[in-house]
Structure 1
Amino acid sequence: MSLASHAFRDHLTMLRRTLLHARRYPSLTLNVLLTPVMLLLLFVYVFGNVMSAGIAGAPADRSEYVAYLVPGILLMTVGMISLGTAVSVATDMTEGIMARFRTMAISRASVLIGHVIGSVIQTLLALVLVLGIGLAIGFRPDATLTEWIAAAGLMALVSLALTWIAVGIGLVSPNPEGASNIGLPLTMLPLLSSAFVPVDAMPGWFRWFAEYQPFSPAIETLRGLLLGSGIGTTNAVLAVAWSLGLSLLGYLWCRAQFTREPRR
């Protein structure tokens, strides 16, 4: 068997391990998924009328805000699931599993890639669930088949980028609790984006950051794709550029950390 065949088999084995672990211990995935779902329901049913009046103007129409909110919650879900990946990797590090993998005759890249691909698959499944809840409470997308495919590709690309960053966080964290704390920006940045309110409604000194941070361009692009409205070339380019840049940065960071000597 060739080296490429061995590496491919190792990749599949590590992917299977990640998915089996998620199936046997679903509490972590459910816990990180709970926050975006609760925020979706909170902002729709508690703040929905007020927020929709601010966005669409009087009279208030909650359905307008549901349409605005769901794309942002979908991207927030991506960030939350990636945080769970950071905790999972940190757990493997502290329990010595990563050190054992280093001594085995397997492709080192497969250990990281198994975590990344497994997390992306979990994220896409979680997005289907959140989208289903959005449809149940009144979200009505107006996207063509091509736009749906583009939206799915965008969410997968963002998930890939954030997952590589999350794996790096897990590798450098002293314990799972530390990974949860270090990875806090993955859950906080969506709150400081256009997920809940338009950036035009934000103070001028904060607007620039909110508009150009990684989540806002992705949210605006996803919103345009799902609602059939214009997305703007700038948002699409920034969303793809941020995703590719973070993916490369995260991969190089993870590779550098994983090839270092095990912790003492």
Structure 2
Amino acid sequence: MPDQPPYLAVADQLRQRLTNGEWSPGARLPSRAALADEYGVGDNVVRRAQELLITQGLLEGRAGSGTYVAEPRERLRMVRSWSRDDRDGSPFRADMAGLGKRGTWEHRTEAKVPAPPEIAARLGIAEGDPCVRTAYEFLADGKPVQLSTSWEPYALTAGTLVVLPEGGPYAGHGVIKRMASIDVTVSRAVEQPEPRPATAEEATLLGVQKGALVTAIQRTYFAQDGRPVETADIVVPAAHCEIVYEIPINEA
């Protein structure tokens, strides 16, 4: 049988040191150069070994900072539910509270962003029509658990108090409540989940390895007259979250 590749041998030794408690959770590992010198291998071998342990959830990489021992992390239950979207306040914050965690988010909004072709098709507008785009990073107890990029037609909310999703009196209340304030009734949502590898940017924001499995959800809200009023691309790391759909049953 062929000899074990060097990076696997290094990964085995690092894994044993983690098991023995040489480095505690949250501790920063020695630099790659130091580990390469210790094991008599190249930096690239150490990098591949660390990447393997990151995918196994034992280590985590932090851009510009180094490699750390991963903190024990439970897999969160993310509930996708129409009935939950209809309540006051933030469904995400309420869901996290139900898990005993503090749900917060960071956001960045840009107004009058030209709609790219795919977004224009999803919103039923012309390519290049202005939109309000908001990028979100959702956190549970300060740890990233979900990303979302939302697009709304600027013509729909321009001149109203809800033109900025995170500004004004309805900030943080979600699409349904915000649209209701301008007499637009959201009647349904369509979601399309699909597994795929994380991009480099997503991996950095979510604290996972590039290429780690995520669930990408394409969601669009529709008004009673059939108009799309918002569409979003939601990204959830599969290793840290499980997605559950809650479907209400209407009795005849």
TM-score, reference length from structure 2? 0.28
Structure with the bigger percentage of helix: 1
- If asked which structure has higher relative contact order (CA below 8 Å, sep 6+), I would say 1
**Greater percentage in strand:** 2
